[in-house]
Amino acid sequence: MNSYEFSRLWFDYSFLHPGQVKPVHSAIYFFAIERCNRLGWKAEFGFPTDLAMEALGIKNYRTYIRALQDLVDWGFIRWIQKSSNQYTANVIALVKNTEAPAKALDNALSLHSTKQVQSIASINKQLNHKPINHKTFFNKPLLKIDKSEIPENELGYYEWAVKFQELFLKNLKNKGAPLKRTEMLSFEDGVKPIRLMMEKDGVSENQLQLAYDFLDGNDEFWKGIILDTKKLRQKIGQLIAQGKKPVKTENMDLRLRQKIKSYD
């Protein structure tokens, strides 16, 4: 399955259930497709409530969770792990729902198109990314890669890697230390630890931001220790535990909570 197939099945269903489907359902479902795509089409993936609500402009948690439950009830999403509140992440899976027959919408669209004035201009979908030579791309310096070159499923990790890499360079400049090694760090070496932290270690974007703020603060010791994202992954529990801001850990991922506790 790909995003086009999920989209087609959704609109086949919504066309036959106009009194049931609301814009909030489409918004949540297509954001789930987008997140799954960015994570490399994982069979099961985290779907943070606060992230989804912020991205979609949904202010009311009950509105959001009711619509998400509808998508589960209608067979488009399957619960893997249901969150206990709006501050923790659900784990979900996309489902191939073939309940609605495709011909109903196909016939309606065909009938509608015959009533329209046909344009002589062709419409071409613009492709944003050129084919990637994976053998050389992942070895290119992270900071010399244009954002438009990044595969869609790596974009979020890339943005965090660049953010930290620029901070590492700033900290090195302030200490008068050599910059060349950090400037030439490869895409793979910069991005992979971020990807592993978020996918394998259960580190959230909020937790990454806590670590970033600490490294951008007044503590000089860690600025000289953490100079790449590989070391960041090793020490992120200590960074959060030693941060000067009080940290509420009750809503954090259990694995990271235990790691932080071991440093207290």
| Residues 17-62: tens digit of each pLDDT | 888 999 999 999 999 999 998 888 999 999 999 899 999 999 999 9
Confidence (pLDDT) at 244: 46
Write out the E strands in 73-227.
77-81, 89-94
Confidence (pLDDT) at 176: 86
What is the C-alpha to C-alpha distance for residues 95 and 83, in angstroms, rounded to an integer? 19
Strand order in the sheet with 77-81: 45-48, 89-94, 77-81
Flag the least confident range among 9-18, 181-190, 252-261.
252-261
Q: Does residue 115 have a pLDDT over 50?
A: no
Q: pLDDT tens, 186-244?
A: 888 999 999 998 888 888 888 888 889 888 888 788 888 888 999 999 998 888 777 64
CATH 1.10.10-classified regions of the chain: 3-105
Q: Which residues contact 122 (CB under 8 A, 6 or more apart)?
A: none
Start-to-end CA span in the chain (Å): 46
Expressed in percent and rounded to 5, the helix, strand and coil fractions of the chain are 55, 5, 35
| HEC string for 168-206 | HHHHHHHHCCCCHHHHCCEHHHHHHHHHHHHHCCCCCHH
**CA 202 to chain CA centroid, nearest Å:** 13
Confidence (pLDDT) at 131: 53
Confidence (pLDDT) at 100: 57
Confidence (pLDDT) at 122: 46
Residues 75 and 12: beta-carbon distance below 8 Å: no
Amino acid making up residue 148 = S
Radius of gyration in angstroms for the set of CA atoms belonging to the chain, rounded to a whole number: 22
Query: How many Cα atoms are found within 13 Å in the side-chain-facing hemisphere of 162?
Result: 14
Q: Does residue 104 have a pLDDT over 90?
A: no
Q: Does residue 259 have a pLDDT over 60?
A: no
DSSP element (H, E) containing 47: strand 45-48
Indicate the pTM of the whole model: 0.44
For 3-105, the fitting CATH number among 1.10.3120, 1.10.10, 2.40.128, 3.40.630 is 1.10.10
Flag the least confident range among 54-63, 81-90, 141-150.
81-90
Q: Does residue 107 have a pLDDT over 60?
A: no
Q: Does residue 171 have a pLDDT over 50?
A: yes
Confidence (pLDDT) at 17: 85
- Give 186's strand partners: 141
Q: Does residue 94 have a pLDDT over 50?
A: yes
Q: Does residue 149 have a pLDDT over 70?
A: yes
| Averaged pLDDT score across all residues of the chain | 79
